[in-house]
């Protein structure tokens, strides 16, 4: 039997879906929630700080901050094929935080992107088996996307 835990960070991040048939084709932003769902066995080593945990929540937070928050918070995510947006953002100057990605930055694609960034860092130092089960991205309070292998 395994246990699942979840930990999340939030960012204020802009994007656009260039070919969308509604207002989402315009520059806009969201208060994103980036949520890692980790599955595994509990640490069974007696007397250590992590005993009884899948993974210490503070370690998950460190990973999410480094791999997601610090990359996209107060940034604009743009598809590498969106020449119009790249040109407009370049006019702002080098101080602007632009993250260029090889996909249209929908919530669905961002969930897979986040999974791929975080997954290599989810590992145990205590012999228990753990995996990143899924990654969830909340774009709005009513709109979520999840990705899992």
Mean pLDDT, rounded, for 30-42: 97
Cα–Cα dist 128/68, whole Å: 25
Q: Give the rounded percent of residues in the chain with a pLDDT score beyond 90.
A: 95
Instruction: Assess whether pLDDT exceeds 70 at residue 31.
Output: yes
Q: What is the per-residue pLDDT across 71-81, written as a single tens digit (0 to 9) for each? A: 999 999 999 99
How many structural domains compose the chain?
1
Give the least confident one: 1-5, 12-16, 52-56, 108-112: 1-5
Mean pLDDT, rounded, for 54-70: 97
Q: Which residue has the tokens 């960012």?
A: 11
Check residue 1 and give its pLDDT: 63
Q: What is the per-residue pLDDT across 68-106, written as a single tens digit (0 to 9) for each? A: 999 999 999 999 999 999 999 999 988 899 999 999 999
Residue 21 is part of which domain span?
3-147
Which CATH number characterizes residue 99's domain? 3.30.479.10
- The kind and range of the H/E element at 41 are none
Whole-structure pTM value: 0.94
Mean pLDDT computed over every residue of the chain: 96
- Sequence-separated (6 or more) residues with CB below 8 Å from residue 85: 16, 18, 27, 78, 79
Q: Which of 45-55 are b and which e, b meaning 16 or more Cβ less than 10 Å from the residue's Cβ?
A: eeeeebeebbb
pLDDT band at 2 (very low <50, low <70, confident <90, very high): confident
């Amino acid at each position: 039997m395994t246990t699942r835990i979840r930990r999340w960070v939030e960012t204020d991040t802009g994007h656009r879906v260039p070919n969308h048939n509604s207002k989402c084709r315009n520059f806009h932003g969201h208060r994103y929630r980036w949520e890692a769902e980790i599955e595994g066995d509990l640490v069974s080593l007696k007397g250590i700080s992590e005993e009884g945990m899948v993974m210490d929540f503070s370690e998950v937070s460190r990973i999410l901050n480094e791999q997601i928050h610090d990359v996209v918070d107060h940034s604009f995510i743009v598809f590498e094929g969106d020449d119009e947006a790249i040109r407009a953002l370049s006019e702002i100057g080098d101080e602007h935080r632009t993250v260029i990605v090889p996909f249209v930055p929908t919530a669905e694609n961002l969930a897979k992107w986040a999974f791929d960034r975080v997954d290599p860092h989810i590992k145990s130092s205590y012999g228990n088996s753990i995996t990143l089960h899924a990654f969830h991205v909340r774009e709005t309070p009513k709109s979520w996307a999840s990705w899992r292998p």
